[in-house]
Amino acid sequence: MQCSFTALDEFFGVGAAPVRFECFDGDLVGLARTVDALAYPGLPYADAVTDDELSEARVRYRCSDGEPRAAYPQTRLKRLPGARHYDARGGVYESLSVVAPAPDTRATPELVLFEAAVLASRYDYNPDPAYIPSVSSHGLSGLAREYQRDLLDLVVTGKRPDKGFDLLRDAGFVDAYWPELAELGGVEHAKDFHPEGDAWRHTMETFGHRKTPDPVLSLGLLLHDTGKPDAVSAGGHRFDGHSELGARTARSFLTRLGYPAGTVDSVVFLVRYHMLPAALPRLPPAGINRVLDDPLFPTLLELYRCDELSTFRGPDGYYEACAAYKAYRKNSRNPYRDSNGKRRSDLHRPASGTL
């Protein structure tokens, strides 16, 4: 039975998240007999989990006979697969229209913080800030990497990731657990190039320009400027080499949170080359054909679009990059042209007077 954020995603028509929540009608022993390869990481919102990266079946199970695993009434919503109706008894249905919900005071701080951030980012909720626990005052230390990754995936693929991340930042969670992101707040931008604010505000702004909440694109946007805190000015560049530095930071950050190697490599590619589309119209394709031929290059262009639209510059650079990429793809398929569009000199023309 779908429950929690999976049921809410269906109810509100939000795209499916990278992690799924299900309610099991029985106890933990019955669940273990029914589902193979369970793990028990002690998460405040799940009794057991499965993590099959190959099938993308990351499921968090709640057993109906155990302690309540919901801090906010909205996350008690349930739905049978394929059913037209939801199980919203016990005041759940009424809670769905409450814009500023308050949690159950008996819920643990870890659960309240988790659900508040996800509710804020995935739906049109603004959890009452008076009930948001701070990391320091509630001693929220040692939170498992499964908790952190689930939280990150649910927030970053929401409609408004900025709301969830700002909530976590205000609670001290970002400083305590994701210092790579916290450091973005200390990177000041020149107002001529980034009127939206520092690197944190710029990063949050990029999410508003996504066409879809694709997980890899969203993680790329989140981490694309994480090299700026360590970059130095050189050759007239304020953040020289920040793409390379950010790629290393992204790899370390995602690996620490337990992301699979394929996801890590994809996000690192986006961060490493996120500045390349700006120069694409002026670069000889032969020198970067490996990057241009990568299946992720269209996603890189989308990241560039979101990045550009978060500044004052507008979409012109994006359109120029797309035109250059389109020309490269056309020329690369033409056997009579090289990647620069010039006629190939190694082709043998028929001798004069022959057919």
Cα radius of gyration (the chain): 24
- Mean residue pLDDT across the chain: 89
At 44, the amino acid letter reads P
Assess whether pLDDT exceeds 80 at residue 344.
no
pLDDT, greater one: 82 or 299 = 299
- Counting beta carbons within 10 angstroms of the beta carbon of residue 85, is it exposed (0 to 12), middle (13 to 18) or buried (19 or more)? exposed
Per-residue pLDDT, averaged over 257-265, amounts to 96
* Average pLDDT value for residue range 98-104: 96
Q: Which domains does the chain have, with CATH numbers?
A: 180-344 (1.10.3210)
Q: What is the pLDDT of residues 128-138, one digit of tens each?
A: 999 999 999 99
- Give ∠ CA 107-3-100 in degrees, rounded to 5: 55
Whole-prediction pTM: 0.90
SS (H, E, C) 50-113: EEECCCCEEEEEEECCCCCCCCCHHHHCEECCCCCCEECCCCHHHHCCCCCCCCCCCCCHHHHH
pLDDT in tens, 164-196: 999 999 999 999 999 999 999 987 866 655 566
Higher pLDDT, 7 or 333: 7
